[in-house]
């Protein structure tokens, strides 16, 4: 099957990347540091949201989108710049097949990076800490993988629209800065100028429009720690914990994965049609 062959080739190429090695080391060191010095994990299961839980969550929300965007986008853009992607298009393959194969190859690589980091941190956590909830650790691991998958589609789209690796690097940093650094400030600023009756709806939509906020809120709600949002967002907490909220989060996550890939496929087909 061509998808599997493309995925294996992508996996072989990307595994040699210095980006992958550097981020694996960085992510592992930071995760282990948080486990060792982030405080007790005894109340960080489904009964509380303490300093270590917050630190692990913030590490993932800060670093994983950057890791995914840089590795994913520069891989696609590098193939375009080097001509290997153009060569693939000369074969009787649909662009969707090529994109899917590269997506799977990148996905396996990034899963390995995150798993290694969490594996080392988890090993130290269970050796040095007592009363650690396995559910707590698996929860963070699962949502970290989800965050990576949500940004992988965006990374491939950035790679498709970029002509060179340098351009992909710049666009990735812009996307990362908007979603991770500046988005919250924009939401808070908007909350100050709209009516109080519209704030709840605004916050709800702001969660769905940013994969970082989606994973952040979904993780906290799953930990049954929604009280940290405060009494003003009590209705949002109740809605998020209910079936409708969970279903909305799930559908939104699927859309964040599929839509960028659909757009990337459309742009590639359009480029081929116009001889680009």
Q: Which of 106, 114, 111 is closest to 30 using CA atoms?
A: 114
Cβ atoms of 203 and 216 closer than 8 Å: no
Check pLDDT > 50 for residue 89.
yes
Q: Which of 50, 54, 32 is nearest to 41 (CA)?
A: 50
For residue 107 the two structure tokens come to: 């996905």
- pLDDT tens-digit readout, 201-220: 888 889 999 999 999 988 88
State pLDDT tens for residues 126-182. Answer: 777 655 667 777 888 899 999 999 999 999 999 999 988 899 999 999 999 999 999
Q: How far apart are CA 52 and CA 50, in angstroms?
A: 6
The boundaries of the domain holding residue 52 are 2-273
Examine the pLDDT at 9 and tell me if it is beyond 70. Answer: yes
- For tokens 């981020």, what's the residue? 23
Convert 33-60 to b/e letters by CB count within 10 Å (16 or more is b): ebbeebbebbebbeeebbebbbbbbebb
Q: Which helix (H) or strand (E) holds 36?
A: helix 18-37
| Predicted structure pTM score | 0.88
Per the CB < 8 A criterion, the answer to whether 71 and 17 are in contact is yes
pLDDT at 48: 43
Residues 199 and 230: their CA atoms lie apart, in Å, by 14
Residue with more model confidence, 95 or 224: 95
Q: How many domains does the chain have?
A: 1
Q: What confidence score (pLDDT) does residue 36 get?
A: 76
What does the angle CA 166 – CA 179 – CA 270 come to, to the nearest 5 degrees? 55
Distance CA(28)–CA(30), nearest Å, equals 6
Element (H, E) at 256: helix 243-273
The pLDDT score that the predictor gives to residue 230 is 64
């Amino acid at each position: 099957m061509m998808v599997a062959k493309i995925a294996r080739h992508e996996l072989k190429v990307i595994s040699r990347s210095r980006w992958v090695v550097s981020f694996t080391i960085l992510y592992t060191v930071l995760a282990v540091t948080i486990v060792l010095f982030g405080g007790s994990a005894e109340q960080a299961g489904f009964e509380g949201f303490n300093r270590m839980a917050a630190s692990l969550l913030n590490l993932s929300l800060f670093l994983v989108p950057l890791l995914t965007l840089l590795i994913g986008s520069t891989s696609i853009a590098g193939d375009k710049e080097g001509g290997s992607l153009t060569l693939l298009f000369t074969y009787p393959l649909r662009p969707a097949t090529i994109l899917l194969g590269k997506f799977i190859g990148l996905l396996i690589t990034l899963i390995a990076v995150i798993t290694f980091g969490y594996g080392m941190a988890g090993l130290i956590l269970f050796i040095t800490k007592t009363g650690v909830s396995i559910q707590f650790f698996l929860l963070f691991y699962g949502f970290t993988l989800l965050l990576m998958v949500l940004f992988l589609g965006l990374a491939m789209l950035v790679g498709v629209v970029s002509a060179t690796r340098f351009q992909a690097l710049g666009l990735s940093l812009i996307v990362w800065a908007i979603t991770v650094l500046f988005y919250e400030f924009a939401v808070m600023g908007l909350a100050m100028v709209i009516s109080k009756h519209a704030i709840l709806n605004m916050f709800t939509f702001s969660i769905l429009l940013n994969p970082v906020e989606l994973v952040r809120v979904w993780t906290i709600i799953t930990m049954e720690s929604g009280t940290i949002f405060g009494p003003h967002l009590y209705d949002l907490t109740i809605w998020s914990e209910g079936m409708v909220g969970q279903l909305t989060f799930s559908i939104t996550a699927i859309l964040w994965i599929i839509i960028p890939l659909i757009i990337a496929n459309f742009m590639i087909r359009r480029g081929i049609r116009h001889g680009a």
